[in-house]
Structure 1
């Protein structure tokens, strides 16, 4: 069945050009359609949390982000769901339309995160770029990336950390990373945790880690580290300072 869905999705992608896709994506979703889709999805899987119903690039097909899960494509009746990567066809090759659609969503949501809720490692001298990093303190590649942060800062890149404890809210890992957000010197506390040391601060209830974990899930974070550029593009996994400098065009 899954293979059939992917075949259907591929056929749908091959029937439209990017201009037609853009026109479809600009059409508002009728409230009755949105309500019908969410009612069907919630009835089938009430254990999932669903985002807003938005137009997909294919006329008559809509897209819904499952929090902590994939983007799904749904018929107007809500009776049929497709999963997989929706590709657009261009003269230069295939384009991942799902990723393109998520970029402005990520940018808008991350722009609303208050600076005091981030743990920021500022650029040295003039800031040339900034990145967001969803991180866990018990992740080997997160620790490796953190070792590159001083070099990133030296290259003019500001690093803005957000918490994403992979073990989930309420876990020991959650309480560990939350203690960094409770510390007086947050960057120092986070660095200590990345080095396998106690943060030096006590866990506190009033911290933004749970909301950042939920935000990461909504933005498509599936693992750590997850780097998001200022324009909303996501780079999943470890990226060195030198590689990042090239990606940012510095």
Structure 2
């Protein structure tokens, strides 16, 4: 049997196995993938990535077993649990009512997606669905992020200063103070220990959400609302 016949036989067997294991899956084409050799799993910034060294491919994907279990999501939850251990929430800057569903939020004052997320939270609060945000400032991405975070933490009315900065406005002179600078530095250490590399990053309901993923946030809010509903 020549090489083409061997490959064709292997592909036919793989397709039979696929149809037997995933009986509800409908597909039109079935052919060899460009990925070769073993595939390894790694975590980067809270996201699970797969690497195939033989063909030098990175795979940004979700892996499901034959029972429909999302193994990638489970791995991300394990990673989120590890990150939670590195986060001292007592050091967070807090926004929102105490009795609301709580999220841990890693944010950057100059990140456009972080500002979009802040507008989203404001819209949810206006709908009567507020959250309590335990905020940690990420200051290593944009050059003025640390100074703006310090300004917020040094302001008399921190909530107003936060809102002003996150609209994209900034005073001509940013406030500075020893306490605020120390807190920004403490946040930087927590961000490093938690392995956070992008903003916004949320830990919500024990799950890590990388970026402004509105569908995932809506799922959290729905489940949080159910958990708080009277029984």
TM-score (norm 1): 0.56
CA contact (8 A) 2:154 2:177 kept: yes
Gaps of 5+ in 2: 1-33, 50-57, 226-231
The ranges of structure 1 where at least 4 consecutive aligned residues each deviate by more than 4 angstroms after the TM superposition are 68-72, 83-90
- State the aligned residue count: 176
Alignment of 1:114-153 (within 5 A): 114=90, 117-123=91-97, 127-153=99-125
Shift of 1:152: 3.4
TM-score (norm 2): 0.60
How far apart, in 2, do the equivalents of 1:69 and 1:234 lie? 7
Q: Flag the structure with higher strand content.
A: 1
CA contact (8 A) 1:226 1:236 kept: yes
SS, match of residue 8 in structure 1: coil
Q: Which residue of 2 aligns with 1:202?
A: 175
Q: 160, 175, 190: which is aligned to 2:134? A: 160
CA contact (8 A) 1:167 1:174 kept: no
Q: Considering Cα pairs closer than 8 Å and 6+ residues apart, tell me whether 1 or 2 has the greater RCO.
A: 2
- Larger CA Rg, structure 1 vs 2: 2
Alignment of 1:1-250 (within 5 A): 7-10=37-40, 89=65, 91-96=67-72, 98-110=75-87, 112-114=88-90, 117-123=91-97, 127-153=99-125, 154-167=128-141, 171-198=143-170, 202-205=175-178, 206-231=181-206, 233-240=207-214, 244-248=217-221, 249=223, 250=225
